[in-house]
Amino acid sequence: MASAPATASGAHEAHEHTHYTTTGLDNRKIAIWAFIGSECMLFASLISTYLVYKGRSLVGPLPHEAWTSPAGQVFKPILNMPVTTASTFVLLMSSLTMVLALAAVENKGKPGYEGLLGSSKTWLLATALLGAAFLGFQAYEFTSFVHEGLTIRTNLFGTSFFTLTGFHGTHVAVGVLWLMSLLFIDLKRGLGPKDAIIVDISALYWHFVDVVWIAIFTLVYLIK
């Protein structure tokens, strides 16, 4: 704990409400950045695995090419670009609503933040709904893949694809639960500038989930 206030009452207050390290930075924010750094390496390992196995599946269905089985059954390319483009747009927009939620909490009561722009509840709800919509798109994609004959056990593509996107989807689901808990707090007692740090931390997590998807969208869906 650093930046110790000069008076005893100030020190007590700081002990109750702050989480400083010797750097003078909030330890919760240091922790989330360290966590995000470790998550970078987790997703790099999953993306590496996908790319190493890319094009090495012995049987279909395949992501970008049609495949005919020895029995003569034809499988069309399995990736559905229109659906994935829509889900990508939804996730990008959720990052916008998330920064607006943080700005609304940080600037609550300040001029220019009246009405919709200052309504943290609206932006938190919008972000959670957009996250849930992304999960809906992913559930639809996974279900259609299984119906078309691609499961996690079918081939190397199926294994690495479901593992990578499944891990990402799980992160989105955790983010939606986190946002819902913030919305619950906001509805119960209201979130204000003093709570900005807890919203900031959840926003950092949410944006990280977004940047991971930016990489996945290009490396898995766009590059043939």
Partner 1 sequence: MSSDRAHADHAHEHPTWKQYKWVALWLTLITIVEVWAYYIPSLVASKGFVPALLAMSAIKFSIVVLFYMHLKYDHKLFKALFVGPLFIAACTLVAFLFLFGNVRIG
Where along the sequence are the contacts to partner 1 (CB under 8 A)?
Answer: 3, 5, 13-14, 17-20, 23, 25-26, 29-30, 33-34, 36-38, 40-41, 43-45, 47-48, 51-52, 54, 81, 85, 88-89, 92-93, 95-96, 98-100, 102-103, 106-107, 117, 193-194, 196-197, 200, 203-204, 207-208, 210-211, 214-215, 217-219, 222-224
Q: CB nearer to partner 1: give 62 or 102.
A: 102
Distance CA 203, CA 185 (A): 16
Nearer to partner 1, 30 or 177 (CB): 30
In the complex with partner 1, the residue whose CB is nearer, 14 or 146, is 14
> Shortest approach of partner 1 to residue 33 CB, angstroms?
4
Q: Specify whether the CB–CB gap between 98 and 123 falls below 8 A.
A: yes
- How far from chain centre, in Å, is Cα 205? 7
Nearest to 164 by CA among 42, 80, 64, 62: 42
Rounded to a whole number of angstroms, the minimum distance from the CB of residue 177 to partner 1 is 20
Give the Cα separation of 57 and 14 in Å (integer): 58
224/218 Cα distance (integer angstroms):
10
How crowded is residue 120: how many other Cβ atoms within 10 Å of its Cβ?
Answer: 25
If the CB atoms of residues 52 and 187 are measured against partner 1, the closer one turns out to be 52
